[in-house]
């Protein structure tokens, strides 16, 4: 649990905010010097999402997308504009909302939705990559996602996963959870997993990365 490695929530969030202010808003900056794996990442994410665009019980809609903890909006951009084999990953008329990480009350990150402040997730949900949220705040955020889903909507997260337990990164002030911990938080938020997939063809020296879809 993050309570075992995060001693002070305010410092945890403040230190992360300070770190990312100094990181270049480039693919290489967002990926910590691993910009060359961006296309591998995107292609795998596209393939993962396409399973939910086919007919079946887990089929989802394509008219709205919300990219939380958007950084430079790399993900939101290809979701909205990219297409493969004639199947649009994001509908051409879709409004791709992005959430920027802004300092909130007591140092807790909050979301600003662009361009519409009236999205169902507003106002001010905790909104940052999972590794930058404590267990309680990640669970609360996923609950808000669940409440804001359209019929047949899905929530997808993709993040680093530890082999065991929860590991603190003192450089960017983030945590890396193992899959068991992430699954517990998902259940706690009242969501159930539809699919999970480990990212392939990433460098051996970095954490394993998993994509998880839920509703």
Residues of the binding site for S-adenosyl-L-methionine: 69
Which residue carries 């970095």 as its tokens?
Answer: 206
Which residues have CB under 8 Å from 80's CB, separation 6+?
65, 90, 94, 96
Residue 8 neighbours by CB under 8 Å, 6+ apart: none
Phi, psi values for residue 193, rounded to 5°: -70, 135
Q: Is 119 left (phi over 0), alpha (psi -120 to 50) or beta?
A: beta
**Gap between the Cα atoms of 70 and 74, Å rounded:** 7
Question: Residues forming the annotated binding site?
Answer: 69
Query: What Cα–Cα distance (Å) separates residue 128 from each residue in 69, 100, 141, 179, 201?
Result: 4, 8, 9, 18, 25
List phi, psi (to 5°) of 114: -125, 130
Q: Rounded to a whole number, what is the distance in angstroms from the first to the last CA of the chain?
A: 23
């Amino acid at each position: 649990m993050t309570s075992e490695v995060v001693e002070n929530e305010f410092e945890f969030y403040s230190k992360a905010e300070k770190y990312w202010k100094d990181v270049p808003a480039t693919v290489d900056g967002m990926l910590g010097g691993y910009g060359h794996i961006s296309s591998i990442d995107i292609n795998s994410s596209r393939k993962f999402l396409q399973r939910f665009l086919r007919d079946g019980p887990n089929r989802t809609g394509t008219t709205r997308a919300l990219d939380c903890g958007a950084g430079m909006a790399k993900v939101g951009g290809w979701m909205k504009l990219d297409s493969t084999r004639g199947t649009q990953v994001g509908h051409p008329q879709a409004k791709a909302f992005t959430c920027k990480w802004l300092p909130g009350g007591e140092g807790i990150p909050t979301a600003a939705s662009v361009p519409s402040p009236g999205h169902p997730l507003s106002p001010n949900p905790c909104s940052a990559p999972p590794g930058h949220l404590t267990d309680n705040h990640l669970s609360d955020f996923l609950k808000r996602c669940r409440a804001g889903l359209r019929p047949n909507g899905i929530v997808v997260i993709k993040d680093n996963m530890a082999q065991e337990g929860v590991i603190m990164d003192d450089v960017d002030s983030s945590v890396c959870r193992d899959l068991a911990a992430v699954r517990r938080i998902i259940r706690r938020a009242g969501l159930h997993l539809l699919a999970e997939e480990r990212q392939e063809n990433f460098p051996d020296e970095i954490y394993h990365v998993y994509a998880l879809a839920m509703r």
